[in-house]
Structure 1
Amino acid sequence: MQPKVDFRLNAIVDVDAIGTDKDLGELALAAARGGATIIQYRDKKSPTRTMVERARQIHAALQGTGVPLVVNDRIDVAMAAEVEGAHIGREDMRVNDARSLLGPNAIIGLTVKNEADARDAIEGEIDYACIGGLFETLCKPNPDGPIGFDGFGRLAPIIRVVKPHLPIGAIAGIDLERTPHAIAAGADGVAVISAIFRQADPRGAAAALRAAVDQSLKERT
């Protein structure tokens, strides 16, 4: 069974981490050209209208790359900007409600932090799961604390026993050094912010991460 989503490298365009003085479309395109396989737009503080405009800007920049764009949390923004889908967490809309609004062809991803979230991933009609946060990160506070690779190794099998073909990624504090360890722990890919968008050469950083993911997947098989 071929998954709908290639989750090897999820580049997260996080406005709070990157800042508003950058061209978000240009950054997303650089990541895509470097090898990112999916882009996520995350913006927790901006007005809805601004978010829609930014999502459209990023989406327009990605046209022709074949790399899909999902919006974090905001189903309304994803629908208004007509992007490929949305990524949701435990405080966001329920998966089945999001699916009803976005339709069967949309990409829906789910953050998994604990066993209850893993069960939601099993029961919901999602296209990928992202387990974390694995490590501390300056980009997003984690009141639950990091779960590390051990936590990933505990949660991923809960999902895989029922959905063996569902892509499962690792998120939070993942950099080039930790990427092979994440894949060795069972991840199908990694989700990153700083490791791409806080680097002097985002395209080069994405290329290095993608190469590490691909090589680690090859060694695991």
Structure 2
Amino acid sequence: MPRRFDLSLYLVTDPGLTEARGLIETVEQAVAGGVTIVQLRDPQAKGRALAEQARALLGLLAPKGIPLIVNDRVDVAAAVGAQGVHLGQDDIDPAAARAILGPQAIIGLSIGTLEELAASDLGPVDYVGCGPVKATGTKSDAGGAIGVEGLAFLRAHIALPMVGIGGLKAEDAADVIRAGAEGVAVVSALCAAPDVTAAARELKAIIDGARR
């Protein structure tokens, strides 16, 4: 059984957007505002540099009980003891990731279409990231936007916990939750915010309100 996790407000880091403020400072401020889970995403970082970032984040997040998810790099997640990994459709198979990381790891998988769903083995997967809900500039290989309607459509076909992702801002959060997602994943809405803590608090309040 994987460890418990809360998808409510899911931060995905971006190296370009966190450069000025610093990765650790950005994540620390986001957590202070209510972020519940953090994904380290830096596709340009080499293994050692990514592992150093992950260890620094673990030092911040582990005492607070907030899981660290590493994007794509199962080897780095295993090496540093991160709580999980998030996989794209072209990454290592979820079953192989589970074999490497063990039964307690949190394994996420990106799904944007019914075709991707049909091609995916969800047995080893703990949650899905569905999108992009809106057009996004922070992930060059993201597919076409599926909208809130597409998110709701996938929700009807996927029983696992779901987080909506892709170009989402505070004004989109309530619609994503009402479409059936357990959480909202954001990049620039926090990483590029002038006041990260205030932006996170606003998002978390909207999410909690939409749930009620």
Any idea what the Cα deviations from partners look like across 1:9-49, whole Å, max 9, x if unmatched?
10111214433x44212221221121111000001111111
RMSD after superposition: 1.8
Residues 121 and 159 in structure 1, CA contact (< 8 A), matched pair in contact too? no
| Partner amino acid, structure 2, of 1:27 | T
Match of 2:157, SS? helix
Residue of structure 1 equivalent to 2:48: 49
Would you say 1:115 and 2:109 are equivalent positions?
A: no
Q: How far apart are 1:107 and its partner, in Å? A: 0.7
Q: Find the aligned partners of 1:124 and 1:7 in 2 and give their Cα distance.
A: 19
Which aligned segments of 4 or more residues in structure 1 are displaced greater than 4 angstroms? none
1:1-221 mapped onto 2 (5 Å cutoff): 4-19=4-19, 21-119=20-118, 123-142=122-141, 144-160=143-159, 166-218=160-212
Paired residue type of 2:94: V
Which structure 2 segments of 5+ residues have no match? none
If the length of structure 1 is used for normalisation, what is the TM-score? 0.89
Please tell me the residue identity of whatever aligns with 1:29: E
2:12–2:185 CA contact under 8 A, matched in 1: yes
Note the C-alpha offset of 1:63: 3.0
Name structure 1 gaps, 5 residues minimum: 161-165
Instruction: Report the alpha carbon displacement of residue 122 of structure 1 after superposing the two structures with TM.
Output: 6.0
User: What is the letter of the counterpart of residue 212 of structure 1?
Assistant: I
Distance (whole Å) between structure 1 residues aligned to residue 129 and residue 99 of structure 2:
21
Preserved CA contact (<8 Å) 1:25 1:62: no
Q: Paired residues, what number?
A: 211
1:29-88 superposed Cα distances (whole Å, 9 cap, x missing partner): 221121111000001111111000011111111132111100000001111111111000
Counterparts in 2 of 1:117 and 1:24: CA distance versus 1, 3 Å: same
Q: TM-score, normalised by structure 2?
A: 0.93
Superposition deviation, residue 146 in structure 1: 0.7
